[in-house]
Structure 1
Amino acid sequence: MRIAWIGLGIMGSPMAENLLKAGHPVTGYTLEQHKLDRLAAAGGTPAASVADAVRDADVVVTMLPADPDVTAVAGEVLAHAAPGTLYIDMSTVSPATAAHLATASAAKGVRFLDAPVSGGEAGALEGTLSVMAGGPADDFRAAKPLFAALGTTVVHCGSAPGSGQTVKAANQLIVAVNLQACAEAVVFLRKSGVDLDAALDVLAGGLAGSTVLARKRHNFLDRTYAPGFRIDLHHKDMGIVTAAAREAGAALPVGGVVAGLVAALRAQGDGALDHSALLRGVERLSGIPTEECTCP
């Protein structure tokens, strides 16, 4: 399948490269020239515009930061994609935005899936992402060979538009709460004078163990926060899940608190850091000077 890939960021670039490794021709577009150069070095074809990328594609994939970016690019995609093209948005946006894109795509004769991913930069590099897709089952089956090149957990979450985004919102809720719990445990252990490395070994081997703890262990130990997934983006995602939960009538008592803590960290100037920097917020509350932290 000829793939048009729009958005070559921290996750988009390695994902496009994994499709190239799997033998799929990829034409890519993004705003930064050095990212287009990286795609070309990996064997892909840089495009001069969204229209150029999309024109001859069988599948169009967007992997962009937020709802306004996706909505703006979707207009260009649908203006130039041929009827029958499969359009897959793998960004993290609201379920309502996904439903809107599905309706707009159908009006143009374009098939649409919302298929956000989880696993961060490491999962994108390793091709071990979790892919959660919403949309018609036939379209999911058509896209599955592509998803298999990107992730090891690939699930059709429902035929209703936005089903994948709803599951992704739940995922981001769990990740944020888990990160906050890990951050609080790390500060508690440090303040108590416990060997932190040994303590995390024990926690990782028991019921407290998690993918979050395994992936972010060295961030917590070294207090380094080079962005694999930025606080700015997790702040956006917590807005999505709290709004969607309100619409569904679901209470998020802990999630609401953590959303506030993520927002506070961003307001304190840490939005560009990795979301493991929630540790900095707990350190501030505990009287630990944040200037002691090592940041990129």
Structure 2
Amino acid sequence: MKAFLGMGLLGSNFVRAMIKQGEKVQVWNRTVSKAQELEKEGAKAFVHAADAVKGATEIHLALKDDAAVDEVLKAAEPGLTPGAMIIDHTTTSKEGAINRTRAWKEKGFTYQHAPVFMGPVNALESTGYMLISGDEAVIATLTPSLSKITGKLINFGPEVGKAAAMKLVGNAFLVCLTASLKDTLTLSNSLDVSLDELLTLFSMWNPGTLISGRLQRMTGADHSKPSWELNMARKDTQLFLDATQQAGNQLVLMPAIAALMDEFIKKGFGNHDWTVIGK
């Protein structure tokens, strides 16, 4: 028997996937109706979290944040079966994951953080990525079960909290990528470049392939042999700013990047590779 606490878009589709795989799942949600909607698909809904976890050997969570996880687990605690394993898919702080792992172990339970790079469709189709780290014996025990509900289970080793850290780093990249694409679209509009033309460019020239090399160059010790000088990158950045200003538009990230470039140029790095700004 499994229990799932948190019937948002992600949690509800995890439950649907589990039911399709033949699992019996007890569910709870703060808004009771969201849990009850899954009864027609085979889940059993409960009003109280403590009732939802009774008899379950695996308790999954997909909630908002650290505070929500702590609050819901406290409410569920009276109903937990001895030896039950708590698997938390919530994106939380690293410290929160570490503290909960220790605290629940002291209470005689296993808490395993397993955040995901998955949307609702991924949860329904058991695709996408799930991250995990910590006690290798616990991971070995959970791997067969967790592998059924994700496309790829990525083990980041024995450090408790490492999976939480990796999820936050990945989300930071996604946030910056989206803001970067916003600036790209703004500049495109300012220069009368259509979306179709932009998509054509990226279909033929994929900047995603540059990420690994760019990270290595940014973190390298020597930037004195440039492939693109900082002075030249700053010149182009000003062209971005000028074009959007002339069109009456405004960029989000570029002004801050230009200011950072200016700082490094003042420090004497103008003739260095422009990735020196990542130091």
TM-score (norm 1): 0.67
Residue in structure 2 matched with residue 77 of structure 1 by the alignment: 76
Q: Residue 143 in 1 paired to residue 108 in 2?
A: no
* Structure 2, unaligned runs of 5 or more: 210-247, 253-279
Which whole-Å CA distance do the structure 2 matches of 1:147 and 1:205 have between them? 37
Which whole-Å CA distance do the structure 2 matches of 1:55 and 1:284 have between them? 57
Residue in structure 2 matched with residue 207 of structure 1 by the alignment: 206
Q: Give the 3-state SS of the residue equivalent to 2:148 in structure 1.
A: helix
Asked if structure 2 preserves the Cα contact closer than 8 Å seen for 1:26 and 1:45, the reply is: yes
1:121-151: per-residue Cα shift (whole Å, max 9, x none)? 3322332121001221222222223322321
Shift of 1:37: 2.7
| 1:8-23 superposed matches below 5 A | 8-23=7-22
Residue in structure 2 matched with residue 184 of structure 1 by the alignment: 183
Q: Residue 44 in 1 paired to residue 43 in 2?
A: yes
- The number of aligned residues is 214
Instruction: Report sequence identity in percent.
Output: 22
Change (3 A) 1:147 1:206: farther
Shift of 1:209: 4.9
Residue in structure 1 matched with residue 119 of structure 2 by the alignment: 120
Structure number with bigger Rg: 2
Shift of 1:183: 1.4
Q: Give the 3-state SS of the residue equivalent to 1:11 in structure 2.
A: helix
Change (3 A) 1:72 1:33: closer
Which whole-Å CA distance do the structure 1 matches of 2:251 and 2:103 have between them? 49
Amino acid at match of 1:156: N
Residue in structure 1 matched with residue 103 of structure 2 by the alignment: 104
Which whole-Å CA distance do the structure 2 matches of 1:85 and 1:181 have between them? 44
Amino acid at match of 2:250: L
Q: Residue 166 in 1 paired to residue 165 in 2?
A: yes
Amino acid at match of 2:56: A
Change (3 A) 1:286 1:137: closer
Asked if structure 2 preserves the Cα contact closer than 8 Å seen for 1:95 and 1:162, the reply is: yes
CA RMSD of aligned residues (A): 2.1
1:211-244: per-residue Cα shift (whole Å, max 9, x none)? xxxxxxxxxxxxxxxxxxxxxxxxxxxxxxxxxx
Amino acid at match of 2:87: I
Which whole-Å CA distance do the structure 1 matches of 2:182 and 2:29 have between them? 35
Q: Give the 3-state SS of the residue equivalent to 1:155 in structure 2.
A: strand
Amino acid at match of 2:130: V
Shift of 1:13: 0.8
TM-score (norm 2): 0.71
Amino acid at match of 1:44: A
Residue in structure 1 matched with residue 245 of structure 2 by the alignment: none
* Structure 1, unaligned runs of 5 or more: 211-282, 288-296
